[in-house]
Chain A
Amino acid sequence: MVPRSSRNTSRKLTWDKERTRELFKRYRATGDEAARDELVTMYLNLVKYLASRFRNRGEPIDDLIQVGTIGLIKAIDRFDTLREVEFTTYATPTIVGELKRYFRDKGWAIKVPRRLQELSFRVNQAVDALTQKQQRSPTIPEIADYLGVTSEEVLEALETSEAYNFVSLESDRNTDGSDSFSILEYIGKDDHLMAVVDDRTTLAAALKNLSPQEQRVLYLRFFEGLTQTEIAKQLNISQMQVSRLLRKTLKVLREHLVREEG
């Protein structure tokens, strides 16, 4: 069973630093292929661990490990041994980047039937229209009624909207850089949060992975206690975007925290 074994691996993700340094030295000095191979073998469990993070996306785990290994090799070739940084710290983003690119190239994120994409878009608009008209969040049958589709189709569209927006969310990160909101600033001030999450540094590290917009949505939802509709209004985005941002944000945090655990 893949998840079980990968979790076990994650518990003992440690490497011999001394040996790592030695091998890098040898590989850099003499281009010794054997040294490089040993490095690849040594850090293969890091690749396996990171690949397992992507295993729920319909790609065989072996393919993911292969892709991740390419990332690892790139990292080994580019790693600057003079910098005071652990190899794992350097390699992780490279491997993850390689895996992400793989999914992007595969078009995983947009492999959604056109019919559903369109419906998802219309549901989005219907939620906004109905919320405005009724001054409350609509029910699924109300949305279905409004669009002349079944409730099942609306529910399906809710799931869809999260799948096919993966890519656009990734790119959001770059475009909303002007927004300087940072949830990190609030962590020190909020006693309530402190009571709930006492491992402040872990959470803070996890939050750094989020874009300002994601942090803001998270803050408004969980700290200010606003509903998704209220957040949508305040940020001038749709309720479904809020929903999507929240789900994605929580997933990122969860994965980060679990990783810290390991």
Chain B
Amino acid sequence: MASDRIALSVPARGEYARTVRMTAAELASRMGMSIDDIDDVRIAVEESFALAVAHASGADVTFTFTLDPEAFEAAATTPSNTCDEDLEDETGSRYARFILESVCDEFEIRTDDGACYIRLLKRIS
């Protein structure tokens, strides 16, 4: 089965966390995840969103959700000027890593051509 892709672009403002969270929860539910796993997805997505918002230099943060039969993947990207210098060691990002490590099966945070890129993956248990 080919994987489905859903893209969601929201203003880079904290108040849209709910939109992102609810979309992610609905998609994770669609994949048959348990409520425990869905909550992990919500925490992870919110965390990535918060990190992206903190580094956004442009207006929007774009999420791409990929639904595989075995895993849920979310990738957040936003134009950023600050990603390069301090994404590695600032406290906020260290904290985000700590959370993502705990609730996801895989994740990466990197800079990508003037953009901040955060990807996370949660397998269906």
Contact = CB atoms under 8 A, between A and B. Distances in A.
Given A127-B35, A199-B91, A257-B92, A247 B98 contact: no
B87 to A, nearest CB: 12
Interface string B12-30: 1111011001100110010
A127 B34 CA distance: 10
A261 B94 contact: no
A250 B99 contact: yes
B15 A228 contact: no
Interface stretch (A15-23, A139-147, A174-182): A139-147
A34 B26 CA distance: 56
Interface stretch (B36-44, B71-79, B104-112): B36-44
A202 B17 CA distance: 25
A257 B91 contact: yes
Size category of the binding interface on chain A? 35 or more
Nearest to B33: A139
Interface residues of B, number: 37
A156 B18 CA distance: 11
Interface string B90-125: 111011011101100000000000000000000000
**Secondary structure class of chain B's binding surface, majority of residues:** helix
A253 interface: yes
Contact of B34 (A2, A56, A139, A158): A139
Contacts of B12: 3
Contacts of B50: 254
A112 interface: no
B33 A258 contact: no
B47 A155 contact: no
Interface stretch (A79-87, A91-99, A219-227): A219-227
Residue of B35, B91, B94 most packed against chain A (CB within 10 A)? B35
Interface string A136-173: 11111101000000011001101100000000000000
A158 B25 contact: yes
A196 interface: yes
11 contacts: A3-B13, A55-B14, A56-B15, A137-B36, A139-B34, A222-B99, A246-B39, A250-B47, A254-B47, A257-B92, A260-B91
Given A140-B35, A228-B39, 14 more contacts: A1-B59, A3-B14, A56-B13, A56-B15, A138-B35, A139-B32, A139-B33, A155-B22, A159-B22, A197-B94, A198-B94, A222-B102, A254-B50, A261-B91
Interface of A: 1-3, 7, 55-56, 127, 136-141, 143, 151-152, 155-156, 158-159, 193, 196-199, 202-203, 221-222, 225, 227-229, 239, 243, 246-247, 250, 253-254, 257-258, 260-261
